[in-house]
Every structure is written in C-alpha cells, then in structure tokens.
Amino acid sequence: RKEVEQDPGPFNVPEGATVAFNCTYSNSASQSFFWYRQDCRKEPKLLMSVYSSGNEDGRFTAQLNRASQYISLLIRDSKLSDSATYLCVVPNMDTGRRALTFGSGTRLQVQP
Amino acid sequence: DGGITQSPKYLFRKEGQNVTLSCEQNLNHDAMYWYRQDPGQGLRLIYYSQIVNDFQKGDIAEGYSVSREKKESFPLTVTSAQKNPTAFYLCASSSLADTDTQYFGPGTRLTVL
C-alpha cells in the first residue's frame, strides 16, 4: 500500500458545485495532515492543516477519520479559480527525519 | 520580501552533462529540501539539510549531489549518473521547530535533450 493515496481525477464540476476528495494514508501513527494546492506548472502552496478531527476555512473543510485512515477535503460553492491539483501531504514518521510525503494529487476542473 | 528563490526557471542540458540548480532563501530557515516532481506524480524527496555543512539522502538521492556551505543556500547538482533527469525540481525550506510547514520556491524545469 502506498504511504499516501489519492484519486487522480480529474473531477470536472460546474461552478457553484460542492466537491469532495479523499486521501488515504498508511501510517496509523501520523498525527498531522495537510492539503496543498498546486496550480499548473507552479509550486505547491499550503491550503489547510488538519491536526485533530477537522478544520474549516471559508468554503474549504478538511476532515480526518483516524479509524479508517483517511482525510477529506470538501470545497463548497466551487469557483473557476479553484481549478488546480490538490495534494494530500503527511509528514514522514521515520526517526530523525522530518520530511513530507506527498500524494500524487487530485485534479479539479471547475467549469463555467 | 522574504522568500525562497530558484534559478533558472527553465534549464536544458545535453545528455552526459552535470548541471547545478540554485536555491536561496532569506527566511532564516535552518532546514532546506529538494524534491523532484514528474508529470502526474507527487513530490519525491531527493536530499534535505537541517544545518550548515550537513545533509541527508532522501528517497531518490542516486545521481544527485548537494552542498550546504551557507544557511541561505542549498544548490543541487544533477549528475550524468541520473538516468532520467527530466523533471520539475522544487526546493523548500522550513524552520526546525515546524518542519511540517514548508515553503516552496517556484521550481526549475529541467529538460535533458
């Protein structure tokens, strides 16, 4: 099983729709999780952090399900500008090493 | 403005040549990282450094080398031993107190001809 798995998509949704992505992780000891947004041919940028059951920031909600080892990202009232790839990120738990493990991303295309 | 810069943005190289990618940050971060991203893939860690004059291999270090002579700078050399060097290379930095929050540079897109 990959450390971090995501559905690559693409998710094609109309403006105003609600869309949700899931991400599963393999290490049950992981304590923190992140969603990054990456625009085409650009660097990833931190969108949200999830440390407990969930986090909400405007139209974006991230939720954590520890029992099933997945995190989700919900986007309400989708905008054209939300079109991007969303990367699920879990800190690497190796002793003495602090780096991030990235999922391969879920591509979202919001259509007018 | 505080940030992390990478140069060049696009780089072309002939097979068999070594090439060095620049990464500079003025965020006063101790930790710096190099990732590689292939189309449709997530980022994979090449090397990281938590202190000047020290660095550690990541998951895909073969064919790459780094140096950390200054806190602000973490250049990556892609050697001729790297079999598939064409990729998008991203440098990142973080404080040691919060290595989960990494700030990325704009990336260098390397193409081997």
Average pLDDT along chain B: 93
What is the rounded CA–CA span in Å between residue B40 and residue A10?
Answer: 11
pLDDT of A59 reads: 97
CB contact under 8 A, A99 and B41: no
In angstroms, what separates the C-alpha of B103 from chain A's closest C-alpha? 7
A26 has a pLDDT exceeding 70: yes
**Confidence band of A86 (pLDDT split at 50, 70, 90):** very high
**Residues of chain B positioned with their CB less than 8 A from the CB of A34:** 100
What is the rounded CA–CA span in Å between residue B45 and residue A6?
Answer: 18
Q: What does chain B come to in residues?
A: 113
Ranges A37-46, B8-17, B68-77, B92-101, most confident: B68-77
What is the rounded CA–CA span in Å between residue B57 and residue B49?
Answer: 9
What is the rounded CA–CA span in Å between residue A46 and residue A36?
Answer: 4
Please state the rounded mean pLDDT for residues B30-53. Answer: 93
In angstroms, what separates the C-alpha of A104 from chain B's closest C-alpha? 4
B76 has a pLDDT exceeding 90: yes
CB contact under 8 A, A43 and B101: no
CB contact under 8 A, B43 and A99: no
What is the rounded CA–CA span in Å between residue B33 and residue B48?
Answer: 4
Select from A24, A33, A43, A93 the residue whose CB has the most chain B CBs within 10 Å, as the one to mutate to test that interface: A43
| Cα–Cα separations (whole angstroms), residue A22 to A92, A95, A105, B12, B54 | 19, 27, 10, 37, 37
- Asked if A25 is an interface residue toward chain B (Cβ–Cβ < 8 A), one would say no
A98 has a pLDDT exceeding 70: no
- Asked if A66 is an interface residue toward chain B (Cβ–Cβ < 8 A), one would say no
Average pLDDT along chain A: 90
In angstroms, what separates the C-alpha of B107 from chain A's closest C-alpha? 6
End-to-end CA distance of chain B: give it in Å, rounded: 36
